[in-house]
């Protein structure tokens, strides 16, 4: 493993230097071979389960690794905590993957730090395997996400409601910089560290910003009527550009969550990665029966992080990031606010456009569809878009009224284009009084000369046939806790890694929960 560590080169204000706790009997439970290959981990290591267990339990650091616990703050369910930080995680370094992307390697459940807040810093086997399963499923579904490299049993119990076998999970992410990281320094009034963090984050995640700024400065210098103001403003304008880039990443992420029915469950600002990756799979779940107000998290009693509220929360989180950046934009608060506020105000419109563009693909359309240019009755693109939106909204309303499963309904819709049995099953599910929706949809495809084969291909790329259904996840976690065997996990992952293809084993994990997940609850696992 070739470590190339940059975050640790920032000042000590950003982290605590601390080693993971040692564990008595580490044993490798799960190893992500394809991810290991992506990280260019030598076979001399990846083929040695005993060595992997030592490295990824924290008992022994690989050569070049440097262990730190990161500092950050965060809004948790709307309440601000000025100091949170890695209370049970250790960032052991960074590796450049085969695509040249810098990836953090972090051990989670690896012992207490000064950020533990009286916690034991440990992780039970259930939450560790949940993160492994869910992150691999999300990756296969095409959702931006952190991933898991390994799960190692520690040979010791951790104590929650009862004694549970302990484990350490290794998380791989393009960074662990969060909105809460910016809040940590903004709350302290540490502008030097805030500027350092911003510069580092731009360099690591959005280097194109500085490239554009450099080109603009060069152009300004070569213009005869250049002014010092136009050049001097570039460093501050890049902060606005940075915020815009982060917002766009968050919109892309939440749209993908909603495409597959994912509910994060705890979208605090300390769980919002600047990279736009899904991070922290605590009380997450997949929506079964469609309802925009679906909540599974046991700690979200007010529905703050409900399925359809996720876009609003991300906008709120981006407003908190914007607040942190204001002093870097302009010394004058009013001027800074004037530059940044439009980005936050525009969020809802930009999200809606991205959301309906995604939804249109789920029913075989693209939102830029046009009628024949020679047709005297040609409709404007906006009119066409609104009609497609109405078709989508009507379907979702029917699904909510009929209490239909989100994934199964869209899978049936996809299959119905060339499968009469699926078409009849779809109409039956929608109900007699709603069967005209199917006729409207088919007529619209035909009127816009959209080939059924092309529509189906588009739908197959956006509507999974299998997801990590909550009841299967729970059954597998329970078996792992009781037996320590990983056979079912590997079988489940084999199916989840091909979510858009029906494999011989797929059917075993497609059945719906008997209660429609009506009483399902998830827990944080800390």
User: Measuring CA to CA, which residue among 426, 422, 417 is closest to residue 398?
Assistant: 426
Single out the catalytic residue among 86, 104, 241, 270.
270
Which SS3 state, helix, strand or coil, does residue 90 take? strand
Do 104 and 94 form a contact (C-beta atoms < 8 A)? yes
Residue 273 Rama label (left phi>0; alpha psi -120 to 50; beta): beta
**Residue 237 token pair:** 């304008």
CA distances to 102, 199, 347, 400 from 327, in Å: 29, 14, 21, 45
22: CB partners within 8 A, 6+ apart: 58, 59
Which SS3 state, helix, strand or coil, does residue 91 take? strand
510 burial class (0-12, 13-18, 19+ CB within 10 angstroms)?
middle
Q: How many CB atoms lie within 10 A of CB 518?
A: 10
234: CB partners within 8 A, 6+ apart: 213, 216, 217, 220
Is 270 part of the annotated catalytic residue set? yes
User: Measuring CA to CA, which residue among 29, 31, 258 is closest to residue 152?
Assistant: 29
**Residue 50 token pair:** 């005993």
Q: What is the dihedral of CA 325, 330, 331, 337, to 10 degrees?
A: -70
Q: Which residues are catalytic?
A: 270
């Amino acid at each position: 493993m070739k470590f190339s560590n940059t975050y640790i080169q920032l000042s000590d204000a950003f982290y605590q230097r601390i080693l993971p706790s040692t564990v008595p009997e580490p044993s490798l439970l799960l190893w992500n071979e394809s991810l290991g290959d992506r990280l260019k981990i030598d076979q001399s290591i990846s083929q040695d389960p005993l060595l992997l267990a030592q490295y990824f339990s924290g008992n022994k650091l690989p050569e070049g690794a440097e262990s730190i616990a990161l500092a950050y703050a965060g809004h948790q369910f709307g309440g601000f905590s000025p100091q949170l930080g890695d209370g049970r995680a250790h960032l052991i370094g960074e590796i450049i993957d085969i695509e040249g992307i810098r990836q953090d390697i972090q051990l989670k459940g690896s012992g207490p730090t000064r950020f533990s807040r009286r916690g034991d810093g440990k992780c039970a086997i259930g939450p560790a395997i949940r993160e492994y399963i869910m992150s691999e499923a999300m990756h296969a579904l095409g959702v931006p996400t952190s991933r898991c490299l390994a799960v190692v049993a520690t040979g010791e119990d951790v104590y929650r409601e009862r004694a549970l076998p302990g484990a350490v999970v290794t998380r791989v992410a393009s960074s662990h910089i969060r909105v809460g990281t910016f809040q940590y320094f903004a709350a302290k009034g540490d502008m030097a560290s805030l500027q350092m963090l911003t510069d580092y984050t731009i360099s690591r995640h959005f280097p194109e910003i500085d490239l554009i700024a450099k080109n603009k400065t060069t152009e300004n210098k070569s213009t005869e009527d250049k002014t010092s103001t136009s050049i001097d403003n570039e460093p501050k304008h890049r902060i606005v550009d940075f915020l815009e880039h982060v917002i766009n990443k968050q919109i892309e992420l939440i749209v993908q969550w909603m495409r597959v029915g994912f509910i994060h469950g705890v979208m605090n600002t300390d769980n919002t990665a600047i990279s736009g990756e899904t991070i922290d799979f605590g009380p997450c779940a997949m929506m079964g029966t469609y309802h925009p107000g679906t909540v599974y998290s046991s700690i979200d009693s007010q529905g703050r992080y409900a399925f359809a509220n996720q876009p609003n929360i991300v906008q709120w989180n981006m407003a908190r990031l914007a607040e942190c950046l204001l002093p870097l934009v302009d010394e004058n608060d009013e001027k800074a606010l004037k530059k940044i506020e439009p980005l936050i105000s525009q969020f809802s419109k930009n999200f809606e456009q991205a959301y309906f563009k995604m939804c249109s693909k789920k029913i075989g359309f693209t939102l830029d569809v046009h009628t024949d240019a020679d047709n005297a009755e040609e409709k404007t693109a906006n009119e066409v878009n609104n009609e497609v939106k109405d078709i989508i909204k009507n379907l979702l309303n029917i699904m909510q009224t009929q209490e239909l499963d989100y994934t199964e309904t869209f899978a049936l819709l996809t299959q119905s284009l060339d499968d009469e049995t699926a078409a009849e099953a779809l109409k039956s599910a929608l109900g007699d009084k709603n069967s005209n929706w199917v006729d409207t949809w088919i007529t619209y495809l035909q009127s816009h000369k959209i080939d059924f084969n092309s529509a189906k291909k588009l739908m197959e790329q956006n509507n999974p046939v299998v997801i990590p259904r909550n009841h299967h996840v729970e059954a597998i976690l329970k078996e792992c806790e009781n037996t320590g065997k990983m056979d079912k996990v590997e079988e489940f992952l084999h199916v989840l890694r091909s979510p858009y293809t029906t494999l011989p084993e797929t059917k075993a994990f497609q059945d719906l929960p008997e209660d429609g997940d009506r009483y399902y609850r998830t827990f944080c696992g800390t």
